[in-house]
Every structure is written in structure tokens, then in C-alpha cells.
Amino acid sequence: MAVGESDLRGRALWAPRAWVGGRWQASVRLSVDARGHWSSIEPGVAAQAGDLPLAGPVLPGLVDAHSHAFQRAFAGLAERREGEHDDFWSWRDRMYGVALALDPDALRAIAAQLAVELLQGGYTQLCEFHYLHHEPDGSRHEDPLAMSWALADACDDAGLGLTLLPVLYERAGFALPTLRADQRRFATDAAQVRTMRDAIRAVCRPLLDAGVAIHSLRAAAPASIARLVDKLGEGPIHIHVAEQTAEVEDCVNATGLRPIEWLCSQAWLDARWQLVHATHATESEIDAVAESSAGVVICPATEANLGDGLPDLPRWLARGVPISVGSDSQVTRDWPSELRLLDYGQRLQLRRRNVSAAPQLGEPSTAARLFERVRAGGAAAAGFARWGLEAGARADLLVIDANDPPLLGVPAQNTLDALVFSSPGRPFRDVMVAGRFALREGRHAREAEIAQRFERAMSALWASSAR
């Protein structure tokens, strides 16, 4: 691909096959408008003079619907147990040490490395659940959004879309009205969160948007949540909920209700809401979420890494609840691995194969059913009305490397199945975001520079933590 072909806005591309309307279609012409959105998607047509031919089958990019970017600095560094017990809560205490050590420059370096890796993993939009706001001592930066801009600049460095979600975080637990000392960087109230969201939106960066988030029911008082969501307007609202059994027990003790049950009882939930994890949900809670039109964000690799448990995926699917996936703690940074683990967890629990497939609905492919649900669910999580290879959506795509060894010789109709379940290493040859190629032939133009900055940040971080 020539240097001048990085920016395809105002041009057309042609793919031998593309995932359009929930299935593979042949000979697809994809036209990009001047804003970097699809103006038309035309299956079954020949390429025209001037069209750019793509070098393999084409998929839409997916949304990474839940991320803590700074935790990329901790990935792989919490896999030792020195005592008798290790669980989510002990992991969290160690993770706070990283959170207390980062300045805006270090956060930008870490998040830029993550952004490149997410592009390589097939994500083209990131939802950042952002609570690392203040100075290490808890005082405010001169610019209260200094850490937010570090994240936005990092995604700009890589060419990844970003939905920033400043987080309401005001207490350490249901019975603890203030934050712990090691949570001092996270402190916000409802007015601050709304102000941050509005300020981020006001800069009008092309690949940047914002919503809001609530850390969890244990971390925000009901009155504060009510103030945040009252007349909030459009845009996503994310919340951690029912990730840990101890959290569920604490909520029952404090309120008399389970976390999702309590949320549903407040009549707040609608299509803007995304329930992150929702691992420990009862059938009646899932039914109530389905009635509300809210979505659920599952993070299979992180939930496995932290020992959270397994969701009732068959019921979430059967009730039609919007589903998306997230990289969360960054132990995995590609969506094929998340989809694979999503179904494998169910197979291990239920001792059946292809749990997520639905032949009775004409959806016999596990990979295809999960991909389509996550594609659509990710759009809502990021605040997009349209997402995928359809007119009006942002012009994002993934070109599959058909020469990746696990895909060699695979029949065309099984490409997505093999991509998810044959564990390919680097299946995406080219990645486009908003009509511009962020990755070409598997490489990012700034990959080496970004990696060097990341290494320097990691060296400084872990040198200081060792003292």
C-alpha cells in the first residue's frame, strides 16, 4: 500500500469479501465520505477505476467497551502468590500502588502503547472508565482534566477512537462514607463528573467523545448517583456492578437488595446504561435488565484472571440484552481471545460445546453469533447510533491476513470461526479508523517510538516502586 493511500476519506475501497448485514458477502465496494464515515456499502459489485483493493476479507472493527488504561503497566505483574490467599481484593490493593505513581506523561506513554496493541487486536474504539484524575497526593492538577488529556493524546498518537467516561467515586464502601488513603486520586462528586464530561465534549476532537460512569454502588451514594443522572441527556452511563460475591453480600446487607436488583428498583436504567461485569446476576435480574434496554459489558479475560466467576451468558443472550466485551485490566488486548474465552468458560461450566450458538435461530456459528452481538452492543456502550459496515457508520474496518497460519486453507464461510477458535496470533493485516489506516501490513507507523516511551515509563515506575 503506497504512502499516499493511508487516508481514504473521499475515496472508495473494494474487498473480495466483507462482513455486511451479519454475514459474509462477496465483492463489496465501500465508499468513505469526507468526514470519515461510510457513504455507501455495496455488496456484489465490481471494483471501479480508482478504487483501492483490500488484501483480504474485511470485518468491522469492534469497541473495547471497558478499559482501565493505566493497568496496562500492571499486566503480567500480579501472577505470584506469596501468602495463603489471593483474590480480587488483594490484587486491587497492589494495583492501587501503580495508580498512585503515575503522572500525565507516564499515563500517556502507557495508554499509547495500549492503544497500538488494541488496534492490533481488532479494536477501533476504546471506552475508558477513567477515575485516575488527581495528583498523587490527592490535590487537583492545575488543569483538572490533565489526566484525561493524557489519555486523549495517547489515543491520538495511535489513531484509536476514544469514549472517555469520567467516574463518580466518593466513598470506600457502603458503610465507609469517605475514600481510603490509597484512593485519594479518584475523588469526584456528581457535579465534577458532569463538568468533566461537558469539557471533554466541548473540545470537539474528531475521534473523542465522552459519557459518564459510576464506579460502583459501594463507591457512590444513591443521592449522588441521582444527581449525576438527573437530566443528563444523551450519552453512555457505565457502572461496575455485581462483579464479586462479597460486593453482592455487602449490598444486600446495606440495602436489602442485590446490586442489579437495587439498580432496577430505582427506575434509572435505559439504553444509555452499561452494566460492567454483572457476573453474579440472577435470572430475575437479567429479565429486569432486558426490560430496561440497558446493556452488559463482559470482560472474560479479566474476570478469569481475578477469579470473579462466570456470567449466565446463555440467559443474557436469550433475553436479547445488548452485550459487549472489554479489555479491563489489560491482561488480554484482542477481541478474538475475549470471544473465545467467553464461550469456553460456558463450555467448562456446562460441559457442552458451542454454548453461544443458536441453530434454532439460524445462527449455528458460535463466533458469528457472538461477534454480531458484541458489534451491536459495543456501539451502544460507546455512544454510537451506527457501527459496522453500514452507511452512516464511522469508516472503521479490519483487513484479515488470510495467510496467518491458523487461517490457511480454511473454507471462506468458516473464516470467523477459525479466527476466534483457532487462536491466530496476528490476524489483522490492516486496520482503518475513520477512513485512515492506523495499521498497515500489521505495523503501526509510530510503533517503535511508542514502545520506547512505554519502556521508559515502565522502567521509571518499577524502579520507584522497588525503593
Active site residue ranges: 277, 328
Whole-angstrom Cα distance, residue 229 to residue 20? Answer: 36
Query: What backbone torsions phi and psi does residue 25 show, to the nearest 5 degrees?
Result: -130, 150
Angle at which helix 366-382 crosses helix 335-350, to 10 degrees, equals: 120
- The one-character DSSP state at 138 is S
Of 185, 108, 106, which Cα lies nearest the Cα of 140?
185
Cα–Cα distance for residue pair 319/300, rounded to 1 Å: 20
> Residue 217: CB partners within 8 Å, gap ≥ 6?
174, 239, 241, 251, 255, 259, 262, 263
Residues 27/35, Cβ–Cβ less than 8 Å: no
CA distance 395 to 379: 13
- As a whole number of angstroms, the distance between CA 65 and CA 258 comes to 24
443 three-state secondary structure: strand
CA torsion sign for 379, 213, 172, 260 is negative
* Nearest in space to 145 (alpha carbons), one of 110, 174, 188, 177: 188
Distance between CA atoms of 349 and 258, rounded to whole angstroms? 23
**Residues comprising the chain, all counted:** 467
State the virtual CA torsion across 160, 231, 254, 288 in degrees, nearest 10.
Answer: -80
